[in-house]
Structures are given as structure tokens and as C-alpha cells.
């Protein structure tokens, strides 16, 4: 994350996308970077849902999270 590493401050990255797969692609591209968290901006219009925002559809939000967040290791 460039110069942010020198600050020793946790970085939260906000991602967005025009489709579910775009959220997944952006999260995947960030997988090799050091960041404290990803925030999925689901309040932006989504082309797959005729411009509706994902935050009004729990199932759509679940799809974004499922593809953007790696599963927790099982114990």
C-alpha cells in the first residue's frame, strides 16, 4: 500500500463494483496487499440489478461478501 506502510497505521480499503464479479475481482487484486480490512461499498448503483443498490438486498450483499472475503480457517 505504498507509503502507508511507513505510517504504521491500519489501512481500511473501500472497494466498489458495478457487478458482483467486479467486487470479487477488486478484492482478489488486493489480496496480496497489507490492509487491516476491506469495506464493500454496496450503496453504489449495480448494473446487474438495473441500477438498484446492493444494500437493499441481503442475498446480493451475501454474494458480494462470499466472493470478496476468504473463508475463515476451520479449527
pLDDT in tens, 50-64: 777 777 888 888 888
pLDDT at 5: 67
pLDDT-derived band at 6, boundaries 50, 70, 90: confident
8, pLDDT greater than 80 = no
Q: What is the pLDDT of residue 64?
A: 86
The reply to whether 75 falls in a domain is no
Q: E strands within the chain?
A: 12-15, 37-40
Domain count for the chain: 1
- Note the pLDDT tens digit of each residue in 18-47: 888 888 999 999 888 888 888 888 877 666
Residue 10 CA to residue 74 CA, distance in Å, equals: 26
Task: Give CA–CA dist 58/75, Å, rounded.
Answer: 28
35: domain range? Answer: 4-68
pTM above 0.85, yes or no: no
Q: What are residue 45's phi and psi, to 5 degrees?
A: -60, 140
Residues constituting the chain:
75
Amino acid at each position: 500500500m505504498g507509503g502507508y506502510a511507513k505510517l504504521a497505521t491500519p489501512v481500511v480499503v473501500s472497494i466498489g463494483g458495478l457487478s458482483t464479479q467486479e467486487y470479487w475481482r477488486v478484492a482478489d487484486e488486493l489480496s496480496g496487499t497489507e490492509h487491516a480490512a476491506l469495506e464493500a461499498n454496496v450503496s453504489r448503483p449495480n448494473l446487474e440489478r438495473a441500477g438498484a443498490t446492493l444494500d437493499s438486498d441481503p442475498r446480493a450483499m451475501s454474494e458480494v461478501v462470499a466472493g470478496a472475503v476468504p473463508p475463515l480457517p476451520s479449527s
